[in-house]
Amino acid sequence: MDYLLIIAGFVLLTAGANLLIKGAAGLAARLNVSDLVIGLTVVAFGTSMPEMVVNMVAAVRGNTEIAITNVLGSNSINTYVILGLAALFYPLPAQKSTIRTEIPMSLFAALAVLVLGSGLFFSPVIGLSRTDGVLLMVCFAGFMIYILRLAKQGKAPLPEEGYVPIPIGKAILFVLAGLAALALGAEMIVRSAIRMATSWGVSEAVVGVTIVALGTSLPELATSVVAAYRKSSDIAVGNIIGSNIFNVFLVLGISSVIRPLPAYGNLVTDAAVAATGSLMLLVFLGTGKKRTLNRTHGILLLLVYAVYLAWIISTL
What is the SS3 string spanning 40-91? HHHHHHHHCHHHHHHHHHHHHHCCHHHHHHHHHHHHHHHHHHHHHHHHHHCC
Write down the pLDDT at residue 235: 58
Residue 126 has pLDDT above 80, yes or no: no
Do residues 275 and 114 make contact, with C-beta atoms less than 8 angstroms apart?
yes
pLDDT digits (tens, 9 = 90+) for 58-80: 888 887 888 888 899 889 998 99
Rounded alpha-carbon distances, angstroms, from residue 268 to 29, 110, 115: 43, 10, 9
- The C-alpha atoms of residue 23 and residue 17 are separated, in whole angstroms, by 10
Task: Look at residues 301, 315, 174 and name the one whose alpha carbon lies nearest to residue 240.
Answer: 301
Task: Look at residues 200, 220, 213 and name the one whose alpha carbon lies nearest to residue 54.
Answer: 213
Write down the pLDDT at residue 80: 95
Write down the pLDDT at residue 42: 61
Average pLDDT over the chain, rounded to an integer: 79
- Please count the other Cβ atoms lying within 10 Å of the Cβ belonging to residue 315: 12
Provide the residue range defining the domain that includes 130. Answer: 2-314
SS3 at position 292? strand
Write down the pLDDT at residue 278: 93
- Long-range contacts for 303-310 (Cβ within 8 Å, ≥24 apart)? 304/80, 304/276, 304/277, 304/280, 305/76, 305/77, 305/80, 305/81, 305/84, 308/76, 308/80, 308/273, 309/210
Write down the pLDDT at residue 86: 83
Say how many domains are in the chain: 1
- The C-alpha atoms of residue 144 and residue 55 are separated, in whole angstroms, by 21
pTM of the full structure: 0.76
Write down the pLDDT at residue 6: 80
| 151: confidence class by pLDDT, cuts 50, 70, 90 | low
Nearest-5° angle of CA 301, CA 306, CA 312?
Answer: 130
- The helices-and-strands tally (H runs, E runs) of the chain is 17, 4
> Left if phi > 0, otherwise alpha if psi is -120 to 50, otherwise beta: which for 34?
beta
The larger pLDDT score, comparing residue 199 to residue 34, is at: 199
Write down the pLDDT at residue 56: 82
Task: Look at residues 76, 75, 70 and name the one whose alpha carbon lies nearest to residue 186.
Answer: 70
- The C-alpha atoms of residue 141 and residue 190 are separated, in whole angstroms, by 28
Write down the pLDDT at residue 194: 74
Report the CATH number at residue 91. 1.20.1420.30
Write down the pLDDT at residue 40: 46
| 304: confidence class by pLDDT, cuts 50, 70, 90 | very high
If you average pLDDT over residues 159-174, what whole number do you get?
70
- The C-alpha atoms of residue 7 and residue 58 are separated, in whole angstroms, by 18
- The C-alpha atoms of residue 249 and residue 54 are separated, in whole angstroms, by 16
Residue 21 has pLDDT above 80, yes or no: no
Question: How far out from the chain centre does Cα 137 lie?
Answer: 15
If you average pLDDT over residues 197-223, what whole number do you get?
73
If you average pLDDT over residues 190-209, what whole number do you get?
76
Helix axes 64-76, 49-61, angle to 10 degrees: 160
Do residues 253 and 140 make contact, with C-beta atoms less than 8 angstroms apart?
yes
Lowest mean pLDDT among 59-68, 86-95, 111-120, 161-170: 161-170
Write down the pLDDT at residue 79: 93
Write down the pLDDT at residue 33: 54
pLDDT digits (tens, 9 = 90+) for 251-294: 999 999 999 888 888 888 999 999 999 999 999 988 867 788 88
